[in-house]
Structure 1
């Protein structure tokens, strides 16, 4: 476990908490963990299919964060640094537990377009619940590209797969999520050309 000894710091001063964590201060580590627990868990939930799985990724991610705090540049936002650690941990978790779908051809089928006001009527947590219904491959590619901003080329490199396969799985993820939105919100969705799927980050 990463909790160890104690030193002096101010609970409300993030730089001093981080500095104490670098010295393996157990109370500082608990405070940092508590302060960013909700934020971290929301990220992990996006990449996993259950709360239990998300907590496994979260704990592993925080452990890595504490082990690599010396690499954190305090001139940059800590949240952004922690987010990168958590996303990379989620990717590693996915690679350990899933087999990537080696298919590069797109499936045909009806796509749906969203009415202009649907974004305002679907809460972020409701969309997240639908995203979690996607299979692990589609969910991971979708979250990396839409929410965390990775290019499809970068995703292919991180997952060690060719870009055509990643592009195919991203397209399928969009189609499946659009179908789920259509089923959940039939009065706000109409058939038509493919539209981008809305997502509001907390």
Structure 2
């Protein structure tokens, strides 16, 4: 006989309830983590509708494979890895993530001084979301998730060299986008002209 699940539980109690296939625990886990996991999915799958599909598939995988969680690290971290993997599977299936942009389109070498540009997190996330799928994927895996190029190669089926190249190109594109933002938004001086 199934036990009644309290509305609030510790992460450990939630995991145990999920392993017992408690429907209410699944609902609580979804409500607790869906917002943060949607943000993860959107970093890889820029289209909101597709990201929602990935999120749902990811939670189905979490619930189906909950017995694989070994209480090593946080449950949320494990769910996050599932969502990243699900996002990569989506991109691989749609073959969109291997797109590249010619380096000639970048307008020269990136200026790493611009890394200190006064962008808020939301603006930076928006810029990252505008990267081609392949660049965005490698950038997120490396810069956000902390994977090495060897791990990225294994996860995505590309070579380490391709991972490094896509990261470099992603950074160059981001720098170019930041440079353009700074040019477009230079503050005007008291004579109404853009400050130099």
Contact map agreement 2:134 2:166 (CA 8 A) in 1? yes
Report Cα offsets for 1:95-144 as digits up to 9, x if no partner.
Answer: 111255488x96672322345753xx322121111111111111101111
Match status 1:26 vs 2:23: yes
**Which residue among 3, 19, 39 is the counterpart of 2:36?**
39
Distance 2:156 2:24 in 1: 36
Report Cα offsets for 1:8-27 as digits up to 9, x if no partner.
Answer: 22221132232222222211
Say how many residue pairs are matched: 182
Three-state SS of the structure 2 residue aligned to 1:125 is: helix
Structure with greater Cα Rg? 2
Distance 2:75 2:96 in 1: 32
**Which residue among 4, 9, 24 is the counterpart of 1:8?**
4
Distance 1:49 1:172 in 2: 18
Three-state SS of the structure 2 residue aligned to 1:73 is: coil
Match status 1:131 vs 2:143: no
- Range moving further from structure 2, 133-142 or 18-27: 18-27
> Relative CO higher for 1 or 2, CA cutoff 8 Å, sep ≥ 6?
1
Report Cα offsets for 1:132-170 as digits up to 9, x if no partner.
Answer: 111111110111111111111221122212222222111
Distance 1:81 1:17 in 2: 14
- Range moving further from structure 2, 129-138 or 153-162: 153-162
User: Residue 195 of structure 1 corresponds to which residue in structure 2?
Assistant: none
**Which residue among 154, 160, 163 is the counterpart of 2:160?**
163
Three-state SS of the structure 1 residue aligned to 2:112 is: strand
Contact map agreement 1:156 1:163 (CA 8 A) in 2? yes
TM-score (norm 1): 0.80
Distance 1:6 1:48 in 2: 38
5+ long unaligned stretches in structure 2: 187-196
Higher helix share: 2
**Which residue among 56, 61, 67 is the counterpart of 2:58?**
61
TM-score (norm 2): 0.82
Distance 2:185 2:150 in 1: 33
